[in-house]
Amino acid sequence: MRVVTARQMAAIDRDTIAAGTPGLVLMQRAGAAIADALRAGGWLAPQGPVLIVCGKGNNGGDGLVIAQRLGETGAPVRVLLLHERDELSPDARASYDALSRQVAVRGAAPAGWAGALRELAADCVLVVDAVFGTGIQPPLRASYAELCRALNDLGLPVVAVDMPSGVSGDDGTADPDAVRADATITVGLPKLGLLLPPGRDYAGELTAVDIGFADDVCARHAPPWHVLALADYQAMLPPRLSDTHKAQVGRLLAVAGSRSYGGAAYLTGLGALRSGIGLLTLAAPVCLETGLRTSLPEAILRPLAQTAAGTLAPLEAAALDDLLARQDAVAVGPGLGDDPDTDRWVCDFAARCDRPLVLDADGLSAFARQGREPEFAGREVVLTPHPGELARLTGLVTTEIAARRCDLAADLAARWRVVLLLKGSPTVIGLPDGRVFFNPSGDDSLARGGTGDILTGVIGGLLAQGASAADAALLGALVHGLAGERAAARCGRRGVLAREIADAVAPVLALLAGEMPLETDNR
C-alpha cells in the first residue's frame, strides 16, 4: 500500500471529487468503513456508550457519520461537537443534519470542552478522536491542547480517525499534548506522519480503510513509498515441506568476528540459525574457535588465519572458492574490525562472491576505508547500513542522511544495484527499481549493541532459504523488529539482551507461518 503525506492525500481527494465523486459521498464511505473497522477490531464492548469528539472540518464530519452508523446498529453513541452547526464544513454540516435522534449530541464553548469531555466520558468504554485528522500542523492552540490533555487523562481506549489530533500527517511532528491513541484508522492511504517518529508513538495500532480512491489517481500524487500488510509478509516466508532435508532448507556461510568483537560472530550465527536454515558455516578468526564451538555447537566452524590485530587474514582465491562451495548464500561483516588487510580482502570477496549476499557493519565500512565504490559479482545483494555507516560510504553527514532517508535509499539502491536497508526509526528499504518500503515493526529494545548482527544473520538465513534479496530484507526487518518487541514484552525494553531478541526470532516466524496459534502466544 502506498504511503502519502497529508498534502498528497488532499490532492488525491481533490482529484477524486473533480472526477465526479462528491465529497459528501467520500465522507459517508469513510465513516461507514471506520465504523465497520471499530466493530471488526473488537473496540465496541457489549455494554457501554462510545463517545465521539468531533471538530468542525471533514474529520469531524467523518466522526458524525461514524456516530450515525454505530447508532443504526443499536450501539449507544454520544457526540461532543466542538463547534456550532454553522461553523462546520459543508459536508460535515450535511452529516450533522443527517444524524438520527439515537445519537446524543452535546456542544460546548472552548472553555468548557475539557469539562464536557470528562462528563460525557464518565461511563463510556471508548473515545473516538475526530477533531483534526490531517488538518493540523503543531503546535495546538491552548483550548485544543487542554482538550487533548483531558482526553489522554481519561484512562479509556482511544481510536483516532485518520490521524491522532495534534500530529502532523506530513512529517510526524507532534504537539506534546497530542492525542495518544491506542489505534488509528486512517482513510485511503497511510500518512507518512503515522510512520515517522514521534508521530508513530502517538498512533498506536494502524489500520487503513479503502474508500474507493482510484489507483491511477493515487499513483499520480503519491511517491513510490509503501508499507505492507501482514499477509504480504506471510507470502514471503520460504516454504517448508514435512519431508525436507537439511541441505534443502538453506546453507549459509557467515563471515564475522574478530578478537575484539567475538560476540558479533556468535549473534550473527544465532540469528541465522533461528531463521530456519538447515546448515550454518561460520568463518571466523582462529582466536574465536573455542568460544564459538561452545556457544554455537549447531554451526560448522571454519577457523581461519588471523592478522596480528586478531582480524581475518587475507585468503587466496582458491581458499575463497573453497569457502563458497556448496553455500546457498553468504553473510559478511559483523565484527570484522578495521585492519587494512582485512578490509582489502572483504572488498575483493564481495566483488568475487556470486551467491546471494548480505553485507553489514565492517563489511560496509571496508569499502569506505578503502575508498572503493561498492561492487558485487552477484545481483541478489542486501546492504544493511546504519546512518553512520552510510555516511562513511557516501561522504554525506548523518543529518543529511536523516533528512533524505527515503530518497537516498532509493537512489543508492539503484546506483549500486542492491537492496539497501537503512536502519533507523523506522527502518526503510530501498529497491533498485526506485520503490521504498517502511518497516512497521520494532522499538527502542533494538537500541543496543549486537541487534544489527542478529538482523544480518536473519537476512542471510532467508537468502539461503531461497528468498529474493527484496523479500529477505523486507521480511527480515519485520521479523527482527517483532522479535525485539516480543523479547522486550518479557524482559523490559530497557534491559533486554541482544541474544534474547535472537531467541525470539523463531517464535515470531512460527506465528507468521501459522504454526503457533496467536491465542497460545504467551510471550
- The residues, any chain, with a CB within 8 Å of residue 22's CB and separated by 6 or more, are none
pLDDT of 136 reads 86
Q: What is the pTM of this model?
A: 0.94
**How many residues comprise the chain?**
523
3-state secondary structure of 257: coil
The per-residue pLDDT for range 104-155, each reduced to its tens digit, is 999 999 999 999 999 999 999 999 999 998 978 899 999 999 999 999 999 9
Q: Which amino acid is at 203?
A: A
> So what's the pLDDT on residue 159?
98
- Please report how the helices 58-72 and 23-40 are oriented relative to each other, as an axis angle in degrees rounded to 10: 50
Surface-to-core class of residue 168, CB atoms within 10 Å of its CB (0-12 exposed, 13-18 middle, 19+ buried): buried
DSSP category for residue 191: B
What's the pLDDT tens digit per position in 43-77? 987 778 999 999 999 999 999 999 999 999 888 99
pLDDT confidence of residue 517: 59
Domain ranges of the chain: 6-223, 248-516
- The grid coordinates listed for 306 are 588471523
State the fold for domain 248-516: UDP-N-acetylmuramoyl-L-alanine:D-glutamate ligase (3.40.1190)
Q: Round to whole Å and give the CA distance between 111 and 66.
A: 26
Q: Are 365 and 452 in contact (CB under 8 A)?
A: no
* pLDDT bucket at 424, cuts 50 / 70 / 90: very high
Which residues have C-beta within 8 Å of that of residue 106, sequence separation ≥ 6?
A: 78, 79, 80, 81, 116, 120
Helix (H) or strand (E) holding 383: strand 381-383
Q: Which amino acid makes up residue 323? A: L
Identify the helix (H) or strand (E) that includes residue 406.
Answer: helix 405-416
Q: Which three three-digit cell numbers place residue 322? A: 573453497
Residue 63 is placed in which grid cell?
A: 466522526
Which CATH architecture does the domain made up of 6-223 adopt? 3-Layer(aba) Sandwich (3.40)
CA 57 to chain centre: 30
Neighbours of 228 (CB within 10 A): 17
How would DSSP label each residue in 121-185?
A: TTT-SEEEEES-TTS--SSPPHHHHHHHHHHHTT-S-EEEESS-TTB-TTT--B-TT----SEEE
Phi, psi of 374 (to 5 degrees): -55, 130
pLDDT band at 317 (very low <50, low <70, confident <90, very high): confident
Mean pLDDT of the chain: 95
The answer to whether the beta carbons of residues 140 and 111 sit under 8 Å apart is no
